[in-house]
Structure 1
Amino acid sequence: MTNQEEERKLLRDAETSQRDAEQVGQMRLDEAVRAGIGQGKKRAARRKAVYGTGFAAAAAAAIIALSPALMPGPGAEPAAQNVTAGAPKNEPAAEQAKSGYEKIDDYRSNGTDLKFSSALRNGYVSSLSESQEQNGYTVTLKGMAMDKRGMYMIVSLKNDTQKKARLSQIKVDFGDNYPVTWLSLSSSSGVAPGTSQNFFIENQLDPTKDYPDQARFNVEVYSGEFGQPEGQSTKFDIPFTAATQDLIPKTRTVEVAKELEVDGQKIRIERIEQSPLATYVDYRYEETNSKKIFDLINPQVKLSDESGSDTPLMWREYESENGLKTMVFAASKIQNAESAKLAVEGISAIEPEDLKLVVNTETGEIIQGGDSTLSVLPDKEKGTVTFRRELESEGENSGFSHPTEFEDTFTDAKGTVHDTPIVSEGYSEGSGGKQIESTVYRLSDPTIVQPITFTLKNYWAPIQEKAEVELLTPPFP
């Protein structure tokens, strides 16, 4: 995996941590934290998030550095009952981890996001103790938890060298027939000389596979700061026994087979799967839809009980080859609810004929496609082109970034097909009710004949229309 791929993952980590921070509710945060994550649920009128090459690491580190406040210590005030970042004082003693499982108290000073702290608090992280030492580095596997779709790991790095060290090329290997995709790492800031640090690692699994319990953890340790050229690395290959079946008896899958309709476009909800780690909702966009759907707006699982509550979206998951998508929500105690619904506030979608964007990337002229919010800004000196959009920052935009992205190839005026360059930089900044989204591509090939025809892969085009569908009704299976 390249540095650019790692930085894209760190961008997603940063935005996930920001969303988690907004869910903290009434927990007491000190002034530094308030300055770092803004106004929480109120979404600050002014915000600036930076991502992309050279910025992703800083963004991830800046947000995650604040996250210990999300795990209150013994003297903290009680959190709101629907908060999963810390353990309320009046909650049953779930923090008393069973023998052979990690305790949340051992990680409060580190800080982590909602899903890891919830798994720790509820005693789902099995203890590991495998360790290797090489060239002044010690890597220790401390804990893991996995269901049929995902795997969490806690890994520590002790650095006894004279330079800062960081982890790279992370891989969990169960064998050739058992795919594992690394999704996120809790921090990119590195480990200072003479110190150690815990890392929280998330991996995606194939739900159709039954994974064996014997696995290997592979990682490379580099010296120096993130974003610097990588020098000589120290490679670790650590065998371990994974508790692959530990949470399977507590996991259940229910086929839903219902449709959610927004603006005449249909989203088929296939199934819901609940595990102690997360709630998964599988869905797909119907092929007969008249519009291209890019995204759902603010999807939530609503659990109705005496008081009523919503389960917030944790992160968007993957898309398989057959068009199946998965939303991942916080783990929920759905058996205590009177009903469970999936609700959305709309979709982001456009007509198929609007998928083509024809632009002259040398002059910035938009020849076809786009809308009044889009402008194209070439920078000949840097060899870059910025696609800039001015969006409403409240309501439909929901305070999250919406980069303009293109399919893997584009066509120039001679009909020559070229590979679309990856996003080299992106940032989102807003004030006065507006949010400016800028996506920067490095595009300086002199053989490209203008104008260029791109095909949109992601473009924020909100259609505000609330809809919901019943996922489960009692008695729950």
Structure 2
Amino acid sequence: MLEPTEAQRSLDQRMNDAILAGIRQAKERKRLTRSRNRLRSAAAIACCFALIACLFTIRISPVFASMLRDIPGLEKFVDMIDRSADRGLQLAADNDLMQPIGLSDEHDGGKFTIEGIIADQSRMVVFYELESETAKRLNLWRTELSDGNGQHLSASTGVANENPIQELGRSVVRGTIDITLAGDRQWPDQVRLEIGTMEESSAALPEPDQNVTDYSTKDPDFGPREGNGPDYTVMFPIDRKKFESLIREYPIDQTIEAEGQRITFERAVVSPLRIALYLHYAEDNTKKIFDTGDIHLVDENGEQWRTIGGSYRMDHPILYFESNYFHKPKHLTIEGGWLRALDKSKLQVMIDTEKQQIVQAPDDNLELLDVARRGSYTMLTVGVRSDVPDDHMMYSVLSSQFTDASGAKYEMGGDGGNLEESWNDANNPAKSYTSYYLKNRAYHQPLTFEITQYPAYIRQPYRIPIW
């Protein structure tokens, strides 16, 4: 295997940071996040399956690829799996974990088809196809999941799709829906997946001003809106016998201390689609730990297994990594050198939107750039810079919920979901900007927001063996 260059490692780490941040935001709030690259997600989380793997050599075997190409509907997804940056997904496909489905819901000139799934105990990748009779492309706007009895299934969802194509006069979009059940829940025998759609012409949004000099050029109608396309629902079975016995658990129970903050690595659970690493942050820590920074898994050959997301429960995060279940190394070690964390006494930002000024902030790295009326919304634009030049993460600092000076609680955005747009400074990637949208109301000033992520760091190298 070719060794990655330092530049590739840096790029890979920045992608990992973005993925982790996206999933953390999805757990914190139900908002639709949009970046300068027009990444769209039904639940505002980062989607790792659209990334092209440039460092790894694992591929679906020619024999199994040939088998998939012989299954109607699934032959169109072989190349998508082969290009995935998630080596665990590739290995699962190569070990016969693909379940053909081939069920559809068709009405209003459109058709939603689930062609197949790859699943383990609590994660599932759905391979879907979305067709429309019109020349307008349909995008997934939202997803809802329930079991066969109609009971809601709590999960984080990421959507990735390829560019639309025209087939027999119809617009066709193919992609994946990556679903992770919350906590330690497991899949039922049947799942009901409902999607909402939006036409591309309505979903398209203007690019943010990359120079951050004239916010008045933004679309005055930009803000939360609802999907205008049809909804589709497909009920499909899950063959749990394919994966229910495929699990390994390794106790760790080791604690590190970094600048007085204690982090315990409790256990690792390895299944076909992910490695789940269970952590615990000490309740008496004086800092809030936002994420584990550059954490990664390394085998005896120096090969890294990167993060693919996480579940961020209060002080009990679960980090997910690429799975090596079907490619078990002799040794696997947790390594890292820094974390993002901020003093618990500095976790609030106060902004007076009428005077257009920040009343309270953790430090001078946060600034208020603009407060502007945009239709029925007020656009609040803030910038944050990192003291670390190679930290190119797009920070979304403010929580979706906030209170005014009277103590009244509010939620950003509207009924169509919260919406924000984030981008990096074109001339200084270590600085990022986010525009938030608040309903126009007579708020009692100032407004108070909780900080959900921030460029503040704890530095402490560590190395902990899993096996």
Is TM > 0.5 for Structure 1 vs Structure 2?
yes
Aligned partner of 1:449: which letter?
H
- Give the C-alpha shift of residue 278 in structure 1: 1.1
Cα separation, 2, equivalents of 1:159 and 1:121: 32
Cα separation, 1, equivalents of 2:95 and 2:362: 48
SS in 1 for 2:409: strand
Q: Choose the corresponding residue for 1:379, options 371, 376, 382.
A: 371
Q: Choose the corresponding residue for 2:235, options 239, 254, 259.
A: 239
Cα separation, 1, equivalents of 2:449 and 2:297: 35
Aligned partner of 1:218: which letter?
E
Quick check: 1:213 aligned with 2:204? no
Identify if the C-alpha distance between structure 1 residues 459 and 449 changes in structure 2 by more than 3 Å, giving closer, same or farther.
same
CA contact (8 A) 2:32 2:40 kept: no
Aligned partner of 1:302: which letter?
V
CA contact (8 A) 2:48 2:308 kept: no
Matched residues, number: 414
CA contact (8 A) 2:398 2:451 kept: yes
- Give the C-alpha shift of residue 213 in structure 1: 1.9
Cα separation, 2, equivalents of 1:104 and 1:117: 14
Q: Choose the corresponding residue for 1:70, options 48, 52, 57.
A: 52
Equivalent residue number for residue 409 of structure 1: 402
Equivalent residue number for residue 199 of structure 1: 175
Identify if the C-alpha distance between structure 1 residues 405 and 191 changes in structure 2 by more than 3 Å, giving closer, same or farther.
farther
Equivalent residue number for residue 331 of structure 1: 323
Identify if the C-alpha distance between structure 1 residues 165 and 106 changes in structure 2 by more than 3 Å, giving closer, same or farther.
closer
Cα separation, 2, equivalents of 1:243 and 1:120: 15
CA contact (8 A) 1:110 1:198 kept: no
Q: Choose the corresponding residue for 1:311, options 294, 302, 305.
A: 305
Cα separation, 1, equivalents of 2:227 and 2:451: 37
SS in 2 for 1:403: coil
- Give the C-alpha shift of residue 461 in structure 1: 0.7
CA contact (8 A) 2:334 2:466 kept: yes
Alignment map for 1:101-116 (pairs within 5 Å):
106-108=76-78, 110=80, 113-115=84-86, 116=89
CA contact (8 A) 1:293 1:348 kept: yes
Equivalent residue number for residue 357 of structure 1: 349
Cα separation, 2, equivalents of 1:437 and 1:328: 26
Tell me the alpha carbon deviations over residues 237-296 of structure 1, each in whole angstroms, 9 at most, x when there is no partner: 333221223112222223322223222211122221111111111212110212221121
Aligned partner of 2:271: which letter?
S
* Cα RMSD after superposing both structures: 4.1
Identify if the C-alpha distance between structure 1 residues 214 and 375 changes in structure 2 by more than 3 Å, giving closer, same or farther.
closer
CA contact (8 A) 2:138 2:199 kept: yes
Alignment map for 1:126-275 (pairs within 5 Å):
126-174=99-147, 175-177=149-151, 179-187=153-161, 194-206=170-182, 208-227=184-203, 233-275=229-271
Equivalent residue number for residue 437 of structure 1: 432
| TM-score, normalised relative to structure 1 | 0.73
Cα separation, 2, equivalents of 1:143 and 1:160: 23
Equivalent residue number for residue 294 of structure 1: 290
Moved more, 325-334 or 357-366: 357-366
Equivalent residue number for residue 450 of structure 1: 445
SS in 2 for 1:225: helix
Aligned partner of 2:101: which letter?
L
Structure 2 alignment gaps of length 5 or more: 23-30, 205-224, 413-417
Quick check: 1:419 aligned with 2:389? no
Tell me the alpha carbon deviations over residues 358-393 of structure 1, each in whole angstroms, 9 at most, x when there is no partner: 343334444433212221123345533322112245
Moved more, 355-364 or 456-465: 355-364
Q: Choose the corresponding residue for 1:343, options 311, 332, 335.
A: 335
Cα separation, 1, equivalents of 2:231 and 2:40: 24
- Give the C-alpha shift of residue 437 in structure 1: 1.3
Tell me the alpha carbon deviations over residues 57-89 of structure 1, each in whole angstroms, 9 at most, x when there is no partner: 952279x99988937xxxxxxx75x445x45xx
SS in 2 for 1:431: coil
Q: Percent identity?
A: 16
- Give the C-alpha shift of residue 335 in structure 1: 7.2
CA contact (8 A) 2:183 2:311 kept: no
Identify if the C-alpha distance between structure 1 residues 166 and 447 changes in structure 2 by more than 3 Å, giving closer, same or farther.
closer
CA contact (8 A) 1:128 1:142 kept: yes
CA contact (8 A) 1:166 1:191 kept: no
Equivalent residue number for residue 34 of structure 1: none
Cα separation, 2, equivalents of 1:147 and 1:355: 37
